[in-house]
Amino acid sequence: MARDVAIFIVNYNMPERTDALTDHIKQYVKWPYELFVIDNGSDLVEPSPYTTIKLNENMQTTGGWLAGLEAAERNGKWLAYWFLITSAEFVEHKDPLTPLAASLGRCDELVGIHPGLTKTSTTAWDHMKCRGMDGVRRTWMIDNIASLWRADWFDAQGGFDPALRYAWGLDLELSYKAREQDRWLWIHEGVKVKKVTDIGYTMERMNMTADERRIKAGANMQAILHSKYGEDWNDKMRSEFVEEYMR
């Protein structure tokens, strides 16, 4: 089995956030990895000096991840893919990757794992916030804030749908596929990450407002997932699993 992890950081006009994540990874992460820093068309400030892939236009989050995955595919086989967004901050645990990757290596049924979000994180997904438990717990969905996906399983599902260009729906669809196959998704309570929603907008680094992006992303998700799964796509992807794993 492959052991290395491909790490993807997508940056759009927030090089200092990218630099902080990259510096932390380079200093503390011991698990074998290769880092792909994708600049998603930054046009207001200079890209991060750590940039390995530069896109000429803003392809939103999905386009950056797809460019990173394409580069990773040329570099060999991977245990897992770790997707990081620049609104994430590592806290408390210096090496967040090692316990996540080790969990994938120990459990064949596990296909996706995510650090627990701090209680101060701003997110719509309260089920991902730490509950003061030890170890890991099973959940119904993991958001792509700092999600680690088993690479062979991820590739077999077709990865991320490029039509979901704003990234909304990628997490729901992939988590839905995992549950349909009775594969496991975990939150690791022993590893914490903080998410600060809309930080790019408060830094005035975006070319649309947060509300404008939510409208565009929501409409994009609705159109694509409706066409693939039917008009009840949202109920299918949440359904009884929400109640089961929220308990």
Residue the block writes with tokens 């790490």: 7
| Residue 245 pLDDT > 60 | no
pTM (predicted TM-score): 0.94
| Residue 246 pLDDT > 60 | no
| Residue 240 pLDDT > 70 | no
Question: How does residue 1 score in pLDDT terms, banded at 50, 70 and 90?
Answer: low
| Residue 242 pLDDT > 80 | no
pLDDT tens across 7-58, in order? 999 999 999 999 999 999 999 999 999 999 999 999 999 999 999 999 998 8
Q: Bridge-partner residues for 187, per DSSP?
A: 114, 137
Average of per-residue pLDDT across 67-77? 92
Rounded to the nearest 5°, which phi and psi values hold at 126?
A: -65, -25
| Residue 122 pLDDT > 60 | yes
Q: Which CATH class is domain 5-246?
A: alpha beta
For the chain, percent of residues with pLDDT exceeding 70: 96
E strands, 19-169, where?
33-40, 53-55, 80-85, 88-91, 110-117, 136-138, 146-150
pLDDT tens across 95-107, in order? 999 999 999 989 9
Q: How far apart are CA 134 and CA 206, in angstroms?
A: 38
Q: Where are the domains of the chain?
A: 5-246
